[in-house]
Structure 1
Amino acid sequence: MSTLRTALDTRSPEYAANREALLGKLAELDAEHARALAGGGPKYTERHHRRGKLLARERIELLVDPDGPFLELSPLAAWGTDHPLGASVVTGIGVVEGVECVVVANDPTVRGGASNPWTLRKTFRANDIALANRLPLIGLVESGGADLASQSEIFIPGGRAFRDLTRLSAAGVPTISAVFGNATAGGAYVPGLSDYVIMVKDRAKVFLGGPPLVRMATGEESDDESLGGARMHGTTSGLADFVAEDEVDAIRLTRRVVARLNRRKLGPAPGPVEAPLFDEEELLGLVPTDPRVPFDPREVLARLVDGSRFDEFKPDYGTSLVTGWADLHGYPVGVLANARGVLFSEEAQKATQFIQLANAADTPLLFLQNTTGYMVGERYEQGGIVKHGAMMINAVSNSTVPHLTVVMGASYGAGNYGMCGRAYDPRFLFTWPNARSAVMGPAQLAGVLSIVARQAAAAKGQPYDDGHDAAMRRAVEEQVEQQSLAPFLSGRLYDDGVIDPRDTRTVLGLCLSAIHSGPIRGADGYGVFRM
């Protein structure tokens, strides 16, 4: 393979400015992550500890293998909304007894672990990842059920959580529930629909209706233990497969269940792993402070792929898109990376062929996004940009090898689609803190609205207020800018997390390992390509 070289000048003023700007964004991101990590705050954390209970992330830390990785997903869920940051649940991928598992842990310090609309979206995303990659799903359950103030947004879509558990089991993906506290009403069906159930003695309570509801509905007098305690479910109802002495014992039993699953990866094993020749630290100085300034993705690849080796495909054709083959943590990947933002017909045709080749070779695809979209204008429309862009989108849509996407910079217009944005179901999608995504850039969008408004006034024979126009453009630009930033997008689960660029290689390596838990197979056919 060809070894990439670097032209990056780490002593230049531009490098220093880029690095300082990105470190500033990372500091802002760290502050937001700290808010999510704080859960319900010191008061509720201390109360939880006084009750002899572990926090959600403490349970996860005991669950995963010592010094094993845990890739947290969607930590900024619900950012910018009225709901708690993090959505009162922790999700991620961790290695348990040598097996990669998806973990979903309720955070009972946040409103008792009650579910809000973002809790559902975050949990559904975790379930999708478990199913797509054939990863066992472990639920660390302690939840007060639905946040009743949001019931109109929870009740009907919430039924999917039950459907997901049954479909995972039917697909041969094990589901495990360890119940540490309340799992009441609809929440009782989570252990009820799981393959394995562990309950903590004197702590776990699983019932459709608690004592007050039973008294109101039937007149019967009962207590928590008789209705849904761990000992009752372990001896009488049979819901509990294992009754743990305490929380640590419950986690031990959960690990033993995973150890006995006899899981084997169905994808090819990785080859030898080599570190890149260039320092990942230098990625901080690569990204220009101005999002309109492009940068060479080969410089990124030189700091991501094994041995900095990259076999470029069609290097002199469609040069705004870099395509080629590499290895990452020993796994072969096909790479599509935007070089100069705009996608022309040549780039679209090149991408279409390359995606087909990757499917023919059963090779996962890595999309590195920094695109302003497909080119517009009379010359390009007459040259077939619509049908060529459609070819690329067709290829991405019907490709069946796993896709990974990293948004390194801009992700505007249909370029987001052609480069496998969220709507195209990449197995994983992460963004860098400087990333932006919208239908188009803020200035362009405001300008389009201004032109349309000016034309509408002229058609009616009315004067146009330039002062009002300027104010409108400023307001629109500010709104679009705010709604295109990485925290806003991540808060709405349009990615799986905002990551430090220096962690990109590690994150992708973890994802590739998880992906290979299932088979890697290319598409057998495509739809009609317009030529």
Structure 2
Amino acid sequence: MSNREAMLEKIAALDADHAKALAGGGPKYVERHHKRGKLLARERIELLVDQDSPFLELSPLAAWGTDYPVGGSVVTGIGYVEGVECVIVANDPTVRGGSSNPYSLRKTLRANDIALQNRLPVVSLVESGGADLPSQSEIFIPGGRVFRDLTRLSAAGIPTVTTVFGNATAGGAYVPGMSDYVIMIKERSKVFLAGPPLVKMATGEEADDESLGGASMHGAVSGLADFVAEDEVDAIRLARRVVARLNWRKQGPLPGPVEEPLFSSDDLLDLVPTDLRVPFDPRDVIARLVDGSRFDEFKPAYGTSLVTGWANLHGYPVGILANARGVLFSEESQKATQFIQLANASDTPLLFLQNTTGYMVGAQYEQGGIVKHGSMMINAVSNSRVPHLTVTMGASYGAGNYGMCGRAYDPRFLFTWPNAKSAVMGPAQLAGVLSIVGRQAAAAKGQEYNEEHDAAMRKMVEAQIEEQSLAQFLSGKLYDDGVIDPRDTRTVLGICLSAVHSGPVKGADGFGIFRM
């Protein structure tokens, strides 16, 4: 099978998984929602964002491979509202009434982190019954961070706008309560800490929905609602007007002229193998991502397993680090460390293109200082302060995941290609290590080693690690911000670079101690 055919097969599987998220709670609940005269979450977003502008959905495969619905019952992403880049969070009320499960929570918290790191206003489209009670033990305590985040965003001067389309009950009531601007809909919005049944049980008081938390009450009596809309479309119109009046200004440098690459992004399907054992030249990928396909390579003859250099992408300057042959040696580590320092000195964002099996092992390399030099690189990545963007193009194994700015190192955005895999090591290597350890343990006890058991163990471990290394599995756990078609990479990175320039772009003043 050709590279193109294999990659298209992966993309088709990815599209099928995305379709599960788009389906929400399924036809029955979608139809019921529409019959009530209500819009779906993505329909609300489509009306909110500027016409013909992009919407970059984040974490669409959240909860993949779990018992929870794919998508996590919430839609998050970055969209343009009246020309302003905003983080948008919309509950999907067709999935258990929009109630939050553990993956809804993780996804919302990730969206809040993106807003705070990149200084993006937050628009919340709320319709939620609060926590999904059967999973409350995983939601209640960490869920308080949602409200903390809203207040910290406001304190940082980042506006928060909430439109309530239906119920916002119990803990959900604090989302509008802690937002800068609140829009409610006449005879639709309900915001209260406790609904009529719970109030009756707690206090004996008889009260109806409207007097407890209706839009008219909150608009005229409690003052929680800043605007009361006639219907959903009017509420979205008001949300757009609120954003238009924010007088929002980006603090990062403006982009320069944009040039299309000289080579088509469609070529990536042919260039990138889905078999991770087959190497490919990342310069071919870079030529299809950057403006004019111009790339000023840094130290091209030194540490050749890592390609480093400067380019522009959608008019924004970037420093690029891309794995060429998988393994990182001492030379690559030292080269990366210097390059990262230079990017910080010039306030230039960094793009990491991952395809690594990790740092080299063996007596020769240990004696040559691979631990010291790998640590230097990880130190530089850890303490770099310019925005980092990461794309996992292929393998992402071992500490190479760390040195190339994996999730634990807080890149502003991290996306994965559908052929990519990530784990502590490859499935065969991990199973082999367990086999060696088992043989040594048996020998130490003077016991005979069971070869039949060993073969079964290796087969089981390889299958388990293979499944847990898959792009969809990792995306389901929110270890990235989405699995993307390689052909969309330039567009996705352009949106992300524009987003990070909403805030100031400034390099680090120091890096701590480098062990030389």
Q: What's the TM-score bracket when you normalise by the shorter of the two chains? A: over 0.9
Is the counterpart of residue 214 in structure 1 residue 199 in structure 2?
yes
Is the counterpart of residue 446 in structure 1 residue 446 in structure 2?
no
Kindly indicate whether the alpha-carbon contact (under 8 Å) linking 1:78 and 1:87 is maintained by their aligned counterparts in 2. yes
- Identity rate, percent: 84
Q: What TM-score do the two structures reach when normalised by structure 1?
A: 0.97
Query: Partner residue of 1:366?
Result: 351
Shift of 1:296: 0.2
CA offset digits 1:226-272 (Å, max 9, x no partner): 00000000000000000000000000000000000000110000000
The one-letter code of the counterpart of 1:357 is: L
- CA RMSD between the two structures: 0.5
Is the counterpart of residue 520 in structure 1 residue 505 in structure 2?
yes
User: 3-state DSSP class of the match of 1:347?
Assistant: helix
Query: Partner residue of 2:106?
Result: 121
Shift of 1:418: 0.1
Q: In the aligned structure 1, how far is the partner of 2:419 from the partner of 2:457?
A: 26
Q: In the aligned structure 1, how far is the partner of 2:450 from the partner of 2:198?
A: 63
Query: Partner residue of 1:155?
Result: 140
Query: Partner residue of 2:255?
Result: 270
User: 3-state DSSP class of the match of 2:481?
Assistant: coil
CA offset digits 1:211-240 (Å, max 9, x no partner): 111111111111000000000000000000
CA offset digits 1:31-81 (Å, max 9, x no partner): 010111000000000000000000000000000000011000000000000
Query: Partner residue of 1:487?
Result: 472
Q: In the aligned structure 2, how far is the partner of 1:160 from the partner of 1:403?
A: 24
Shift of 1:286: 1.0
Q: In the aligned structure 2, how far is the partner of 1:54 from the partner of 1:35?
A: 18
CA offset digits 1:263-312 (Å, max 9, x no partner): 01100000000000001000011112321111100000110000000000
CA offset digits 1:363-411 (Å, max 9, x no partner): 0000000000000000000000000000000000000000000000000
Where do 4+ consecutive residues of structure 1 move more than 6 Å? none
Query: Partner residue of 1:463?
Result: 448
Is the counterpart of residue 337 in structure 1 residue 343 in structure 2?
no
**Which of 225, 235, 238 is residue 240 of structure 1 equivalent to?**
225
Q: In the aligned structure 1, how far is the partner of 2:140 from the partner of 2:18?
A: 29
Is the counterpart of residue 94 in structure 1 residue 79 in structure 2?
yes
The one-letter code of the counterpart of 1:164 is: D
Is the counterpart of residue 509 in structure 1 residue 472 in structure 2?
no
Kindly indicate whether the alpha-carbon contact (under 8 Å) linking 1:17 and 1:289 is maintained by their aligned counterparts in 2. no
Query: Partner residue of 1:255?
Result: 240
Query: Partner residue of 1:296?
Result: 281
Q: In the aligned structure 1, how far is the partner of 2:71 from the partner of 2:388?
A: 25
Shift of 1:414: 0.1
Query: Partner residue of 1:136?
Result: 121
Query: Partner residue of 1:109?
Result: 94
Shift of 1:328: 0.2
The one-letter code of the counterpart of 1:445 is: L
The one-letter code of the counterpart of 1:435 is: A
Is the counterpart of residue 34 in structure 1 residue 41 in structure 2?
no
Query: Partner residue of 2:168?
Result: 183
Q: In the aligned structure 1, how far is the partner of 2:82 from the partner of 2:286?
A: 32
Kindly indicate whether the alpha-carbon contact (under 8 Å) linking 2:7 and 2:273 is maintained by their aligned counterparts in 1. no
The one-letter code of the counterpart of 2:312 is: D
Q: In the aligned structure 2, how far is the partner of 1:289 from the partner of 1:208?
A: 51
Unaligned runs of 5+ in 1: 1-15
Q: In the aligned structure 1, how far is the partner of 2:404 from the partner of 2:245?
A: 40
Kindly indicate whether the alpha-carbon contact (under 8 Å) linking 1:372 and 1:412 is maintained by their aligned counterparts in 2. yes
The one-letter code of the counterpart of 1:454 is: R
Q: In the aligned structure 2, how far is the partner of 1:370 from the partner of 1:180?
A: 44
Query: Partner residue of 1:6?
Result: none
User: 3-state DSSP class of the match of 1:48?
Assistant: helix
CA offset digits 1:88-137 (Å, max 9, x no partner): 00000000000000000000000000000000000000000000000000
Query: Partner residue of 2:369?
Result: 384
The one-letter code of the counterpart of 2:140 is: F
Query: Partner residue of 1:68?
Result: 53
Q: In the aligned structure 1, how far is the partner of 2:138 from the partner of 2:478?
A: 17
**Which of 151, 160, 168 is residue 153 of structure 2 equivalent to?**
168
Q: In the aligned structure 2, how far is the partner of 1:371 from the partner of 1:133?
A: 28
Mapping for residues 378-417 of structure 1, pairs under 5 Å = 378-417=363-402
Q: In the aligned structure 2, how far is the partner of 1:526 from the partner of 1:369?
A: 23
Query: Partner residue of 1:423?
Result: 408
Kindly indicate whether the alpha-carbon contact (under 8 Å) linking 1:178 and 1:250 is maintained by their aligned counterparts in 2. yes
Q: In the aligned structure 1, how far is the partner of 2:175 from the partner of 2:319?
A: 39
Q: In the aligned structure 1, how far is the partner of 2:170 from the partner of 2:273?
A: 52
Query: Partner residue of 1:4?
Result: none
Q: In the aligned structure 2, how far is the partner of 1:209 from the partner of 1:148?
A: 15
Q: In the aligned structure 2, how far is the partner of 1:249 from the partner of 1:266?
A: 31
User: 3-state DSSP class of the match of 1:85?
Assistant: coil
Q: In the aligned structure 1, how far is the partner of 2:488 from the partner of 2:71?
A: 21
User: 3-state DSSP class of the match of 2:2?
Assistant: helix
Q: In the aligned structure 2, how far is the partner of 1:181 from the partner of 1:131?
A: 27
Q: In the aligned structure 2, how far is the partner of 1:288 from the partner of 1:261?
A: 47
**Which of 44, 50, 68 is residue 29 of structure 2 equivalent to?**
44
Query: Partner residue of 2:5?
Result: 20
User: 3-state DSSP class of the match of 2:212?
Assistant: helix
The one-letter code of the counterpart of 1:323 is: T
Q: In the aligned structure 2, how far is the partner of 1:268 from the partner of 1:480?
A: 43
Q: In the aligned structure 2, how far is the partner of 1:236 from the partner of 1:469?
A: 72
Unaligned runs of 5+ in 2: none
Report how many aligned residue pairs link the two structures.
516
Q: In the aligned structure 2, how far is the partner of 1:483 from the partner of 1:220?
A: 52
Shift of 1:436: 0.3
